[in-house]
Structure 1
Amino acid sequence: MIDDVRDLSRAEKAKALARKNVSRYVGKCFATAIVAVFAMTLFALYMIGDFLDAFTAENALSTTAIFITSAVLTIFLMAGIYRFTQPKGTSVRDFHLTIILVVLTFITSISAATKLNLFAMPIALATLVLIELIDRRTATLSTAVVAIMIAVAFMRDTVTYDYTTVVASVVCNSLCAVIVNFYEKKHLTRLKFLLVSMATPIAMQPLVVMFTLASGDTSMNLLWHVVWSYGANIAASLVFMPLVAIFEGVFNIADDFRLNELCNLSNPLLKRLASEAPGTFNHSLVVGNLAEACASAIGENPNMARCAAYYHDIGKLKAPIYFSENQSSYNPHDELIPEVSVSMITSHTLFGEILAKQNRLPKEIVAICREHHGTSPVGYFYRKALTLKEEGDLAVDKYTYAGPKPQTKIAAIIMIADTIEAAMRAYMPDTKEEFEGRINKLVDEKMELRQFDECPITMGDIAIIKRTIIEVLPSIHHSRVSYEKKRPANTFNK
């Protein structure tokens, strides 16, 4: 009965937190959304038809339709981005980036269509950048929003602009964006992804020819449609790389290519970790292997998991000697009272967050530096304090990390991998049954402490993570083969 009440209370708190998050998201994005709606509407009215004529009673209906379409699609975009990125905690940032790219692509496409050729619309521009910086679903959604907006905008003047050609152009250029979206970019280098995005429009040219012939146009327009369609997509392919670099820096976003760069062991921060805290460095590499495997197993970004694991303990650079993996024979904690030891140990999450921000690491990694211990107690020093205390109980709150608890699945993965690697480094069980039992116990302890209550990880995910670590860890912590008897060196030539 008590457990049911607790579960109900947690469910109510979760719903209240969800409503609060939605309200905060809408509040932070509303002004940007309004500006985007007016920008796209006014630009469409200015470029297509007579601008002043748009505000007469005769054209009020079409003008209102364009405005309402912009508003509805922007709301749809807001909802979709929140749905896609809320688990990562980057919804506000991702909406601002997406809406900027949607407006930029819309303005560029309308300008090219009205000034050059109806097939010269680089609709794929937003898609290419968003594939790199956010995810495929957001990229696909942005393509749909831009395509519908353009189609509605050209309804205002179907005399000057042949609407059949407009629709054909929108369909062909949008399909080009969608096809590029199907490529598994995480397996491609930047150069290969650029080449793919430039080669894909070639496959779309037969469709351009088919649409043009279907409209009854067999003149030189056929050739120009092919040239402008291919040229627009090539231009988008050439421009998107500089845009990725710009937005990556402005919004401090970590795409897979940047994550791979951060994982390079020649990175100054990792070199410093290897030099000043070699034990922590080796621990982080092992956690990286575990986290990458676990992330792949549950459908999370393995590159982000590995990168976060490499940097999660950089806070230990403040005082490496206070952490067991960096000690030899001397242990400074032998000379300290437990309260001071706990303060030194737990401060590494806060210092890690500060150091990560100073080095402009991605927001997700900064958060994991702070979250990877959650509000877990430092058990060793709590037990040591209990033995020193003469009588009475001891409040465990003074011997725990400050939190917050993991907010994302990857943060939860890092917590689990970090805990298990540290425990297994101290003592590796001899039998498979003992090994599996120890892993299950370590994860179950975190669950009992409710460390995963604030992240969207499921029981199914945790089961997969356990199974993955059980499969992967033995190959990392393997034992050297022992030989019964070493053959003397002088007998080899006999």
Structure 2
Amino acid sequence: MERIRFFLEHVKHVRIIRYILFTFLALLMVTVLYYHVKPQQYSIRPFDISKETIRSPITIEDKDTTEKLKKEAAEKVTDVYTLKKEYAENRVDLISSLFTTILDIQEETGSLKNDSEIIKKLKERLPQEWFTYLSEDEWIRLLTAKSEEIRVAKEASVTAVHSIMNEPITQEELQKAKMRVQNELKYVMLPSSLKDIVTKLTKEAIIPNVIYDRAATEEKRRQAMDEVKPVKILQGQIIVEEGQFITNEIYHQLKLVGLLENDHSIQPFIGLLLLVILLIAPIIYGFTRWIDDGQQTNTYLLIYVTIFTITVIIMELIRLLPESDTFSTGYLVPVAFGTMLTRILLSERLAIMTSVIYSICGSVIFNEGMNGTFHASIAVYLLTSALAGSLFLQKELRKAKIWQAGFFVSFINIVVMLAMILMKNGHYSMMEMSMFLLMALASGFFSAIFTIGLLPFFEASFGILSSMKLIELSNPNHPLLRKILTEAPGTYHHSIMVANLAEAACEAIGANGLLARVACYYHDIGKTKRPRYFIENQIGGNPHDQLSPQLSKNIIIAHVTDGVSILKKYRMPKEIIDIAEQHHGTTLLKYFYHKATQQMDYVLEEEFRYPGPKPQTKEAAVISIADSVEAAVRSLANPSQEKIEKLVRSIIADRLQDNQFNECDITLRELELVAKSLCETLNGVFHSRIEYPDIRKEKVK
């Protein structure tokens, strides 16, 4: 213990120690949580037989399979063709123009007998491609036909083209459409030779009237691809069962979810690192804003790291206990002891913040066999348990209160456990329900045991003066307090009065009122060595009247050093010893100094001053004022509010003028609040009373 204190005494001012401790805390969380975050990997090759059932640890999209299905869906889409109705009109006009041209040529060449001239004139009127459809003799036969036959042929051909071309005709269906021409012209009243020629021309007028629509086809394929739902491997989904053959597809899925040993993904580590940064940040903020004490910050941080480490180690040890498929051993974790120790030794707000961190860490540690990185039920359970432990310790911190807090935590655990069981609507047996409730009860019980058991270790190792320790020291049955009460009752009463004044004044300026009260109980313990030489213990005469001022001064000053010796002998906390040593500072014993100046020509003022040191803390400064004020007010004959206020302010002004507060960080504004608080407390003590008249009792005859 002494070595720990010696080490802390030498490193409490070293700022780099703070960074080392924060780094250690981060590394601790990364080391412990990474094992639970990193997915289990298997040594599997294609075409092996699986030795166990493997589930997916995450939900992830199988993009390769999804793309394959989309491609297949696109390939199944048939090409989109668009019917061009204007094609029918154009071909009708074309065939109609052909026969009209023939009629016109017949009228123009009625006197011509030379067939070659007629053909020449026809070629001038018609496109050259038409002459590949019929021979020259067939063109001559058509040109020499009767006008009435040409008109009949025209009407029949136009009707046939219009009828056939109004229906979709693809390139593949073209020949089939042309065969329909023969059926359309089957009953036309024309000579067979002329009908064959008209049929040929009409067939050539038939062309495909639907074309490939690229944009529509692409849109249809896109819609088909969009309708394909992404192929996902769901969290907890069985990828391969025990004894199943490892196909290429299964191997691909195992690789995709990162379950193969040759998959060295750093994503889990990066994710965990980001989580740890988020958890460390509020701790740094808490120590910066709530526990920013340049003298003790490193000590407090080391205490916090020690508590955190013990809590996490206990979580890991409990995780090693055998689990069942029904419940998790995480419900047994006494997480509340970590927040209770943090609340007692450090800060309530820090304990509440740490409750959240414990719940997150616990939900990761106890996530075995669960889908997802976090175990939500464990997180809620640990959070409520930790918060219950810290919030219940808001008032007096005695061991009995810690036991009460433990039972309160057990009660909250049971309520939360029942709530989660009922919300799951699960059908549990009485044995399973009993196990749940027993773990919830044990968690709170062990939290109290660990808190009570570890608290003395922290107080002794780190020299921490906790609120619970202060309350124990304030017990009137403490040997030193009984010593004051029996040997110097006046001093005991004086100490109680000073304690009331100092506690109220310290709380008014935000200082530690409980520390001030307890320190006041012991600040004059040195007077028990020579109690009759102090005015509050004198009855029937003042022994200083027979002593020289120098000897009286030595006796009075000695009560400080005697008190420090006694307190050290009883191993009292350093804070109380310091206040006992500093409560008079280097003030002057004015009464004996003036008495000495009257008896001697030359007297050194320094010889009649306390050795100090001056008050180093706000609590010591307030106690030094309250000590003087209580003694001075008690000497007033008829204390009134005006007299009390004047006396209080004069004492504070005298201490300021004497530079007694130069070594502590108390401000003038805080001194003003101290003065008001002291006046209010003293006015309550020395209030005016009713004078009761004497009542003479007469004997009843």
Q: TM-score, normalised by structure 2?
A: 0.56
Give 1:484 shift: 5.3
3-state secondary structure, aligned to 1:186: coil
With over 3 angstroms needed to count, the CA separation of the structure-2 counterparts of 1:23 and 1:228, relative to structure 1, is closer
CA distance in 2, matches of 1:80, 1:114: 32
Looking at structure 1, the residues matched to 362 and 402 of structure 2 have their Cα atoms a distance apart, in angstroms, of 27
1:414-439 deviations in whole A, cap 9, x for unaligned?
12211101111223444331222112
* CA-to-aligned-CA distance 1:26-62 (integer Å, 9 cap, x gap): 3666666666565555455577769999xx9936675
* 1:103 corresponding residue in structure 2: 309
Task: Determine the C-alpha separation between the residues in 2 that align with 1:206 and 1:412.
Answer: 48
Is 2:521 the partner of 1:310?
A: yes
Aligned pair partner of 1:353 in 551, 564, 572: 564
Deviation at 1:469, TM superposition (A): 2.4
Corresponding residue of 1:26? 15
How far apart are the structure 1 equivalents of 2:532 and 2:597?
Answer: 24
Match of 1:433 in 2: 642
Amino acid at match of 2:620: A
Structure having the larger proportion of residues in helix: 1
**In 2: Cα distance, 1:382 partner to 1:449 partner:** 16
- Amino acid of the structure 2 residue aligned with 1:96: L
Match in the other structure for 2:337: 125
Q: C-alpha separation between the residues in 2 aligned to 1:37 and 1:164?
A: 19
Q: CA distance change for structure 1 residues 48 and 420 in 2, over 3 Å: closer, same or farther?
A: same
User: What SS does the aligned partner of 1:24 have?
Assistant: coil
Q: Which residue of 1 aligns with 2:499?
A: 288
Structure 2 vs 1, CA of residues 322 and 27 (structure 1 numbering), >3 Å: closer, same or farther? Answer: farther
Write the distance in 2 (CA, Å) between the matches of 1:384 and 1:193: 55
Q: Structure 1 length normalisation: TM-score?
A: 0.76
Of 443, 465, 472 in structure 1, the residue corresponding to residue 652 of structure 2 is 443
CA contact (8 A) 2:579 2:615 kept: yes
CA deviations 1:125-145 (Å, max 9, x no partner) are 211123233331232243344
Q: Kindly name which structure, 1 or 2, has the bigger radius of gyration based on alpha carbons.
A: 2
Determine the C-alpha separation between the residues in 2 that align with 1:342 and 1:111.
63
Distance 2:284 2:545 in 1: 52
Residue correspondence of structure 1 range 244-393 to structure 2 within 5 A: 244-328=455-539, 329-332=541-544, 334-338=546-550, 340-388=551-599, 390=601
Could you tell me which of 361, 365, 378 is aligned with 1:169?
378
Matched, 1:134 2:123: no
Task: Classify 1:434/1:199 alpha carbon distance in 2 versus 1 (closer, same or farther; 3 Å).
Answer: closer
Map 1:395-474 → 2, pairs under 5 A? 396-474=605-683
- Partner amino acid for 1:493? V
Q: Residues 208 and 483 from structure 1, CA distance in 2 versus in 1: closer, same or farther, beyond 3 angstroms?
A: closer
The answer to whether the 8 Å contact 1:88/1:408 transfers is no
Write the deviation string for residues 94-127 of structure 1: whole angstroms up to 9, x where unpaired. Answer: 3333221111011112332454524443322211
Decide whether the 8 Å contact of 1:41 with 1:70 is kept in 2. Answer: yes
Q: How many residues align?
A: 464
Q: What does the per-residue CA deviation read over 1:241-274, in whole Å, with 9 as the maximum and x for residues that have no partner?
A: 3333443454454444443332232321122222
Alpha-carbon distance change, 57 to 205 in structure 1, aligned in 2, over 3 angstroms: same
Distance 1:203 1:143, change over 3 A: closer
* One-letter amino acid of the structure 1 residue matched with residue 632 of structure 2: A
Distance 1:479 1:263 in 2: 31
The verdict on how the C-alpha distance between 1:282 and 1:380 changes in structure 2, with shifts beyond 3 A counting, is same
Q: 1:324 and 1:24, CA in 2 relative to 1: closer, same or farther beyond 3 A?
A: same
Q: What residue ranges of structure 1 are gaps of 5+ in the alignment?
A: 1-20
Contact 1:113/1:119 (<8 A) preserved: no
Q: CA RMSD in A?
A: 4.3
User: Aligned in 2, Cα 1:57/1:446: closer, same or farther, shift over 3 Å?
Assistant: farther
1:309 Cα deviation after fit: 1.0
Deviation at 1:184, TM superposition (A): 5.5
Tell me the residue number matched to 2:700. 493
Is the deviation greater in 304-313 or in 287-296? 287-296
What is the CA–CA distance in structure 1 between the aligned matches of 2:566 and 2:334, rounded to whole Å?
41
**Residue 629 of structure 2 contacts residue 648 of structure 2 at CA under 8 Å; is this kept in 1?**
yes
Cα distance in 2 for partners of 1:290, 1:112 equals 50
